[in-house]
Structure 1
Amino acid sequence: MGAVLGDVLGFAAAVAISPLPIIALILILATPRGRLNGVLFTVGWILGLSALGAVMLAVASPAGASAHDHPATWVGVFKLVLGLFLVLFGARLWHRRPRDPSQARLPKWMGAIDRLTPAKVLGLGLALAALNAKNAPLTIAASATIGSAGLPVGQQIASLAVFVLIATLGLLAPLGVFLLGGERAKTTLGDWKDWAAEHNVGVMAVLFLVLGLKLLGDGIGIVTS
């Protein structure tokens, strides 16, 4: 189990420092119902990661993701395809990044965050975790790695839980600052939001390129072994 956690740590860290959900949470915390909605957004995020990971594990186990404690060939092919997707997506993001970070623009939907009901905030957190094109592939890759390691079901669930916890640290940090930081929290979170908004595309591009290359290497190793 320790080896598996080492393999998925990079994916979890990449999800944790994904700037877009962090910006969304900071904007939510600045609304009149920031305390409640911030918690609901984080809960939705956790549910989204857990659900997507659980679905991938459920698919991998019956499909024979592991054979004699070695990943099945189809897992290697899957990682090759996913790795290629991440590399191409990362290259596209890098090409489209603003040359001047100060010119970066946030998605238009963020302008409506202050009008979202608690139920919609919960759904937004779930969607950004499970349906977002920048985070879902990383969760799928981590779950495929867990599912192909030949672990007992209990250890698979525990590994997924650790992944979700680490992947949520990026949201727990601003939430903790807001709940415990008092008046100074507004300035701190504002600075974090500005930095994340300016470097969102560049950060994700680098992460996708690095992790995509890792997946390609893992896939080649599985297919050729």
Structure 2
Amino acid sequence: MGTALGDVLGLAAGVAISPLPIIAIIIILGTPSGRLNGLLFTLGWVVGLFALGAVMLAIGGPAADSTPSKPAAWVGGLKLGLGVLLVLLGARQWHRRPPAGEEAELPKWMAAIDRFSPAKVLGLGVMLSAANLKNAPLTIAAGASISATAIPDAQKVATLALFVIIASLGLLVPLGVFLITGERAKAMLGNWRGWAARHNIAIMAVLFAVLGLKLLGDGIGILVS
């Protein structure tokens, strides 16, 4: 289990450093229903990550032909394809970065978050985790890595749960700060939001490139070994 967790720690960190979901939860926490909606948004995020990872465990389990010393070839092919996708997305993000000193334009739906119903907030959390161009490939890669390891199913589920917890720290930290300190947290969270908004595209571009190259290397290593 330790080896499986080690394989996905970097991927979990990459999911956790997601500027848009962090900005979204900070906006949500600043609304009149911030406490409830913040919890629902985080719940949706966790459910989305776990569900996507669980699908990969279910698909990979029957198809896995891994050995304790070598992951299955399909895992290498999947990681190679996801790595190429992330590198291309990273190049696209870098090309779209705003001029120095300017703030990147945020999605229009963020301006309407304060009017979202609880159900819509929950759904937004699911979408930003399971249907995000960065988070979905990383979660799929993590699920594939876990499913291909020669450990019992219970340990695979536990490893996936740990992946989800680490991958959710970007939301759990501001949520925890808000729940503990209440209104006093708003100024600090506002600073975090401003920093994330200013550097959103640059952060995403670098993460896409670094994690894409990691998956490329992992995929090639599995396929040629």
Instruction: Pick the TM interval, shorter chain.
Output: over 0.9
Identity of aligned residues (%): 67
Partner of 1:31: 31
2:215 aligned residue:
215
The code of the aligned residue for 1:42 comes to T
> 1:60-106: per-residue Cα shift (whole Å, max 9, x none)?
11112524552111211111111111111111111111122433111
- Measured in 1, the distance between the counterparts of 2:148 and 2:110 equals 38
Corresponding residue pairs, total: 225
Structure 2 SS opposite 1:158: helix
Spell out the pairing of 1:110-149 with structure 2 (5 A cutoff). 110-149=110-149
Q: In 1, Cα distance between the equivalents of 2:77 and 2:105?
A: 37
Tell me the residue number matched to 2:20: 20
8 Å CA contact retained: 1:26, 1:189: yes
Q: One-letter code of the match for 2:152? A: P
Q: Which shifted more, 207-216 or 154-163?
A: 207-216
Secondary structure in 1 aligned to 2:106? Answer: coil
8 A contact 2:68–2:149 mirrored in 1: no
Q: List runs of 5+ in structure 1 lacking aligned partners.
A: none
Query: For the residues of structure 2 that align with 1:190 and 1:212, how far apart are their CA atoms?
Result: 31
Equivalent runs, 1:174-193 vs 2, <5 Å: 174-193=174-193
Q: What is the alpha-carbon root mean square deviation over aligned residues?
A: 1.2
The yes-or-no answer on 1:56 pairing with 2:61 is: no
Map of 2:77 onto structure 1: 77
CA contact (8 A) 1:22 1:171 kept: yes
Which SS does the other structure have where 2:182 is aligned?
A: coil
- In the alignment, residue 216 of structure 1 is paired with which amino acid? L
Q: Please say which of residues 190-199 and 148-157 is displaced more in the overlay.
A: 148-157
Give the TM-score normalised by structure 1. 0.96
Following TM superposition, by how much is the alpha carbon of 1:182 offset from its aligned partner in structure 2, in angstroms? Answer: 3.4
Q: How far apart are 1:54 and its partner, in Å?
A: 0.2
Contact 2:25 2:41 (8 Å CA) reproduced:
yes
Q: Distance in 1 between matches of 2:97 and 2:117?
A: 32
The residue that corresponds to 1:90 in the other structure is 90
Q: Which SS does the other structure have where 1:104 is aligned?
A: coil
Question: What corresponds to 2:166 in structure 1?
Answer: 166
**CA gap 1:98/1:205 in 2 versus in 1, 3 angstroms:** same
Aligned equivalents of 1:81, 1:204: Cα separation in 2:
19
In the other structure, the counterpart of 1:108 is 108
Kept in 2, the 8 Å contact 1:101–1:199? The answer is no
Please say if residues 103 and 199 of structure 2, whose CA atoms lie closer than 8 Å, have aligned partners that are also in contact. no
TM-score by length of 2: 0.96
What are structure 2's unaligned runs of at least 5 residues?
none
**Is this contact kept in 2: 1:69–1:149, CA < 8 A?**
no
Supply the distance in 1 between the matched residues of 2:49 and 2:78 (Cα, whole angstroms).
20
Q: Segments of 4+ in structure 1 off by > 6 A?
A: none
Equivalents in 1 of 2:178, 2:74: separation in Å?
A: 45
Counterpart CA distance in 2 for 1:68 and 1:162 is: 21
- Give the distance between the partners of 2:106 and 2:51, measured in 1 at CA: 27
Q: CA offsets per residue over residues 185-207 of structure 1, 9 Å max, x none?
A: 11001000000011111111111
Contact kept, 8 Å, 1:66 with 1:147, in 2: the verdict is no
